[in-house]
Amino acid sequence: MKKCRKNFIHLSIAVIFGILFYSCKEKDGASETTADAPAGPVLFNDFAPKKGAVRTRLYIEGSNFGNDVNKIKVFIGEQELKVVGSNGKQIYCMIPRYTSSGKVKVVISRSSGESVEHIFPDEFQYAKSTAVGTLAGNVDENGNSSIIDGNFDEARFAYPAYITYEPESNALFVTELDRAVRRVDLETKTVSTLITNGQAGFTKMQTTTLSANTDTLFLTDDNQNLTARTKVAIAYSLRSENYRRVHPYLYDPAAYSCAPHPIHNNMFYNGYAGIAIKKAVFDPFLNELGPKELFKIGGNTNNSSLIFFHPTGNYAYIVSYGCIYKSLYDWTTRELQPPIIFAGSPTAKGDVDAIGTSARIERAYQGVFVKNPNYAGQADEYDFYFCDQYNQSIRTLAPTGVVSTFAGKGSPTPDGSKSGYIDGDPRKEARFADPTGIAYDEQRKIFYIAERNNKRIRTISIE
């Protein structure tokens, strides 16, 4: 009996040892199979989905892939995808921007130095999309921020209100309303402060505008002077000086925006009293530039306005709160003509997409002309994209006078609030908080949006 018990104990120990040994061996074998190219052949079954847009997750099914993503390459046509992970049976990739439709190719490198390549017979169909994202800026837990220079993760904005894109160096000029002008370098992904109140006698900096040849940056100032021409209303800074020096351009009461004609380069700007539109003309007596008032659009109303020339120079839009005026340019006198109300109403505000004066705008601010390929061959090939600050949206004005909503007011809340901070689909998800600045990079097809309340620079990427 004792002998049987002893034999049973020995047998049990042997079985346990065998199980442990087999488990370790199996574990080691699994590691050899999944970590690098396994002993068996690589099999490719299928990929999914067959159609998608930027940031779509693409999965490739099969077996014996290995899990070292550095040895796995996936292509759609000539476009290489980022391989996020692999568990040996499934490869997980992310679709980048500007991908085109094409065959899916997978290349797996083996430890022997050989490569396994497979091209699926089905094509992946790429769907172009538009998405809202965040470029730079952040706030603390109380929603506060301040002017802080640094990289895109570190930089902070206090009150970004206006934005100008400079294509020569791929940079943005962001006006912190009443405070400073910042430079956002899109190549180095850094933010720096160029100009602050006090330089060139600035009191409350308002907007920036580039010359037609982009070598001069013009700046306007609400100098709090409504009558005498004793303070700088417009100043300029040169690219050749790295925009570090500021020079006076014109002395006048407060100016809120300026717009050089894209062909003739003569300067137009606005005043506060009666919402006057002025032209800068040379005064031989004073030997300097002085104001020539062309017309007023506000009557007895005192308010600010913004001027934006069409790229051809044929006309300009004058934006003032709930109304967008259209002023034709006289190529003989080289002056803007008294305008018509082209969209919205100077008295009735709201949020209505419609044509002409039937449209309702709450607070129109900065705008930018963007060529629409669907208008090719027509007399006017440009749409005008503008910020509607209090409607928390980016809207478009077509050459026909039709106003429509392009982005914002997505993912509605139970209380009906339009404001918020959400990236994503422009109309279904994205939300803004007081967007007032907009610029456009035509080459990369990216809008840049300055938001006062979110204190961020947002992007709208178009494909």
Q: Are 152 and 136 in contact (CB under 8 A)?
A: yes
- Taking the C-alpha atoms of residue 247 and residue 235, their distance in angstroms, rounded to an integer, is 6
The pLDDT of residue 348 is: 95
Q: β-strands 247-251, 258-260: how paired? A: unpaired
In this structure, what are the phi and psi dihedrals at residue 10, rounded to the nearest 5 degrees?
-60, -40
Residue 414 and residue 349 in one domain:
yes
Residue 58 and residue 171 in one domain:
no
Q: Are 107 and 436 in contact (CB under 8 A)?
A: no
Contact partners, residue 233, CB within 8 Å, separation at least 6: 220, 221, 223, 250, 251, 252, 253, 254, 255, 269
Residue 116 and residue 163 in one domain:
no
Give the chain's domain count.
Answer: 2
* pTM of the model as a whole: 0.78
Given 126, 143, 160, the domain boundary residue is 126
Does residue 31 sit within a domain? no
Q: Which residues span the domain enclosing 105?
A: 43-126
Q: Please report, in tens digits, the pLDDT of each residue of the chain (463 residues total).
A: 444 444 444 444 444 444 443 344 333 333 333 445 466 899 999 999 999 988 789 999 999 999 999 999 999 999 999 999 999 999 999 988 778 899 999 999 988 788 999 999 999 999 888 889 999 999 999 999 999 999 999 999 999 999 999 999 999 999 999 999 999 999 999 999 999 987 767 889 999 999 999 999 999 999 988 788 889 999 999 999 999 899 999 999 999 999 999 999 999 999 888 889 999 999 999 899 999 999 999 877 788 899 999 999 999 999 999 999 999 999 999 999 999 999 999 999 999 999 999 999 999 999 999 999 999 999 999 999 999 999 999 999 999 999 999 999 998 777 888 899 999 899 999 999 999 999 999 999 999 999 999 999 999 998 7
Q: Which two tokens stand for residue 225?
A: 């002077």
Residue 121 and residue 153 in one domain:
no
Given 65, 98, 126, the domain boundary residue is 126
Q: Which two tokens stand for residue 116?
A: 């396994």
Residue 279 and residue 205 in one domain:
yes
Residue 434 and residue 354 in one domain:
yes
In Å, what is the CA distance from 440 to each residue of 175, 231, 307, 370, 449? 16, 32, 17, 8, 9
Residue 256 and residue 300 in one domain:
yes
289 half-sphere exposure, CB direction, 13 A CA radius? 17
Residue 51 and residue 159 in one domain:
no
Does residue 196 sit within a domain? yes
Residue 161 and residue 100 in one domain:
no
CA nearest neighbour of 203 among 231, 161, 162: 231
Residue 342 and residue 320 in one domain:
yes
- Taking the C-alpha atoms of residue 45 and residue 443, their distance in angstroms, rounded to an integer, is 39
Q: Which amino acid is at 284?
A: P
- Taking the C-alpha atoms of residue 167 and residue 443, their distance in angstroms, rounded to an integer, is 9
Contact partners, residue 273, CB within 8 Å, separation at least 6: 226, 253, 296, 302
Does residue 13 sit within a domain? no
CATH number at residue 394: 2.120.10.30
CATH number at residue 104: 2.60.40.10
Residue 81 and residue 51 in one domain:
yes
Given 126, 155, 185, the domain boundary residue is 126
Does residue 183 sit within a domain? yes
